[in-house]
Amino acid sequence: RGKAADCVAIDLSAPATIPCYNPVAQIVYAAGRQQVSHVWIEGQLKVREGRLLDGTESTLAERVNDWRERILDRLGVDSSTPDPAPLAGRR
């Protein structure tokens, strides 16, 4: 049995990354997160065609929104404000 490994497949066919003469440079300087097509973690496929396979996207969204509420509450900003960013420093 081999070692656990992680691997990422990146689609370099997007307009921002073609023509591709140096794949490493294209990934570092031009590729975006939307170009990550597949991810394997410890040999298990976790992302296919840019989508999480284990159904955690909704759970992650819930966690992000919970943290948003906590942060805004700590800042003293009403979370129902459409764009609380301009109010972040005010109390």
Same structural domain, 42 and 84: no
Structural domain boundaries enclosing 25: 1-54
pLDDT tens track, the chain, 91 positions = 777 789 999 999 999 899 999 999 999 999 999 999 999 999 899 999 998 888 777 788 888 889 989 998 898 887 776 765 665 555 4
- Residue 89 has what pLDDT? 57
Same structural domain, 1 and 45: yes
Same structural domain, 50 and 60: no
- Residue 41 has what pLDDT? 92
Buried b (16+ CB within 10 A) or exposed e, 51-80: eeeeeeeeeeeeeeeeeeeeebeeeebeee
pTM for this prediction: 0.60
Residue-wise DSSP of 36-60: EEEEEETTEEEEETTEESSS-HHHH
Task: Say which CATH number the domain at 8 has.
Answer: 2.30.40.10
Number of domains in the chain: 2
